Amino acid sequence: MWKYIGTKECNEFLLSLNLFDYKEEKWYIKTLYSITNNIESNYKLYKIRKTNGKCRTIYEPSPLLKKIQRKILTNILNNKSISKYAKAYHKGISLKDNALLHVNKKVILKLDVKNFFGNISFMDIYNCCFSIEYFPKSVGMLLTYLCTYDEHLPQGAPTSAYISNLIMKDFDNEIGGWCDLNMITYTRYSDDMTFSGDFNPSEIIIKVRKLLYKFGLELNSSKIHVVNQNSSQIVTGIVVNEKAQVCSKYRKEIRKEIYYINKFGLHSHLKKCNINIAPEKYLKKLYGKVLYVLQIDKNNSEFLKYKEIINKYNI
């Protein structure tokens, strides 16, 4: 289709994408190629500590690149469908929706993809999202460069999450279809895969490992968890043994904070606990925690009462 398209036509195609506001067409084209030729300099890298003590690298694009990526996401990527088994990074789906599918199951198996974003390559992204099937080759390559960092998918770019779902679509459908045939519930939330039902975990682990390898990915052997009903079954931070609810430790901490506020008063509580933030900011944070519990369990009378208590402070 694009065999006989030249530079002029490719530039016109890029202009039609309207990736950012511009006054001169020549400057628009020049800017896009300038960014792709210096893509690493258009990111700010920083580390955040994970719960296991290790660090995760976050790639924050420059304001202009972020704007361009959001346009790519809205005008191009969002038009592509993802698997029904993917439960992260798209509108209308929440952590609760993912967890609800695994409520009250005999066995839960949790698996993790090793270095998920880092192992999705430039060519994976090009072939899946911007190939010659949809774009002139030079345009597709440019769009791919705009969505990558050092030849991989950068965690932190607006486009990366949805691209990861597109990359995993065939994997999700294949493993999900097999699970459906075997009466097993499967969902994937980013790099976290969850399986629930009555099954032999080893069989699934072997199958997932082989299929991931086929897609150029690797199972994280250190994050394989099999949880039976006699233990706390947690899926994406939500307990699912009998019903979906926030874990008891999280609720206990909120309960303790409300107790101290009621006993000592807000300001005295902050002083006694050496909490050095403004009362309004502290209450907003606490209120957010209460709302999170109610988002998962909306009829929880205890936390509905806590919501009323905090509301009395007119935050």
Q: For residue range 117-141, list pLDDT tens digits in order.
A: 999 999 999 999 999 999 999 999 9
Cβ–Cβ < 8 Å for 241, 108: no
Residue keyed to tokens 């109610």: 294
Structure tokens at 89: 């990074």
The amino acid occupying position 215 is F
**152-210 tens-digit pLDDT:** 999 999 999 999 999 999 999 999 999 999 999 999 999 999 999 999 999 999 999 99
Q: Which two tokens stand for residue 153?
A: 């998918």
- Calculate ∠ Cα 110-112-116, nearest 5°: 155
The DSSP result for the chain, as a single string, is: --TT--HHHHHHHHHHH--S--S-HHHHHHHHHHHHHTGGGGEEEEEEE-TTS-EEEEEEE-HHHHHHHHHHHHHTGGGS---TTB-SSSTT--HHHHHHTTTT-SEEEEEEBTTTTTTSBHHHHHHHHS-TTTS-HHHHHHHHHHT-BTTBPPBTBTTHHHHHHHHTHHHHHHHHHHHHHTT-EEEEETTEEEEEESS-HHHHHHHHHHHHHHTT--B-GGG-EEEETTS--EETTEE-SSS-EE-HHHHHHHHHHHHHHHHH-HHHHHHHTT--S-HHHHHHHHHHHHHHHHHHSTT-HHHHHHHHHHHTT--
* pTM of the entire predicted model: 0.88
Token pair recorded at residue 95: 């952590």
Per-residue pLDDT band for 2 (boundaries 50, 70, 90) equals low
Q: Check whether 303 has a pLDDT greater than 80.
A: yes
- The Cα–Cα gap between 182 and 272 comes to 56
How far is residue 197's CA from residue 233's CA, in Å, rounded to a whole number? 12
Instruction: Tell me: pLDDT of 212 over 90.
Output: yes
Mean predicted lDDT score pLDDT of the chain:
94
In a 10 Å sphere around its CB, with 0-12 CB exposed, 13-18 middle and 19+ buried, how is residue 88 labelled?
A: buried
Residues 6 or more apart whose CB falls under 8 angstroms from that of 144 comprise: 122, 125, 126, 129, 130
Q: Which residues pair with 235 in a beta bridge?
A: 238
Could you tell me the two tokens for 31? 């800017």
**CA 185/CA 182 separation, integer angstroms:** 9
pLDDT tens-place string over residues 84-130 = 999 998 777 888 899 999 999 999 999 999 999 999 999 999 999 99
Confidence of residue 3 (pLDDT cuts 50, 70, 90): low
Please name the residues in contact with 219: beta carbons below 8 A apart, sequence gap of 6 or more. Answer: 111, 112, 113, 114, 205, 208, 209, 212
Distance, in Å, from the CA atom of 234 to the CA atom of 189, rounded to the nearest integer, reads: 13
What does the chain come to in residues? Answer: 315
